Structure 1
Amino acid sequence: MKAKIMLSKRYPKLYQLFGAYLNQDSDLWGETIPEIVSCYRRDCPRESHLEMIHEIDSFISEHPDDLDSAFETDYGQDFDPELWGYTTASFLEELKRLLSD
Structure 2
Amino acid sequence: MISSNRYPEMEHVFDIYFGQDFDLFGETVPEIIACYKKDSPHHYKDLIRELESFRSEHPDDLDIAYEHFRRGFRPEGDGYTVTSFFDEIQRLLHE
Q: Between Structure 1 and Structure 2, which shows a larger proportion of helix residues?
A: 1
Corresponding residue for 1:61? 56
**How does the TM-score come out when normalised to structure 1?**
0.85
Runs of 4+ in 1 over 6 A off after TM superposition: none
Corresponding residue for 2:30? 34
The answer on 1:71 being equivalent to 2:66 is yes
Q: Deviations over 1:25-72 (max 9, x none)?
A: 111111111001111000012x41111111001111001111111112
For the residues of structure 2 that align with 1:97 and 1:67, how far apart are their CA atoms?
18
1:67 partner letter? L
For the residues of structure 2 that align with 1:11 and 1:22, how far apart are their CA atoms?
15
1:89 partner letter? T
2:39 partner letter? D
Residue ranges of structure 1 left out of the alignment (5+ in a row): none
**How does the TM-score come out when normalised to structure 2?**
0.90
The answer on 1:83 being equivalent to 2:77 is yes
Corresponding residue for 2:88? 94
What is the RMSD computed on CA atoms of the aligned residues? 1.5
Judge conservation of contact 2:19–2:73 (CA < 8 Å) in 1: yes
Q: Which secondary structure does the structure 2 equivalent of 1:10 belong to?
A: coil
The count of residues paired between Structure 1 and Structure 2 equals 95
- Superposition deviation, residue 79 in structure 1: 3.5
The answer on 1:17 being equivalent to 2:13 is yes
Q: State the identity as a percent.
A: 47
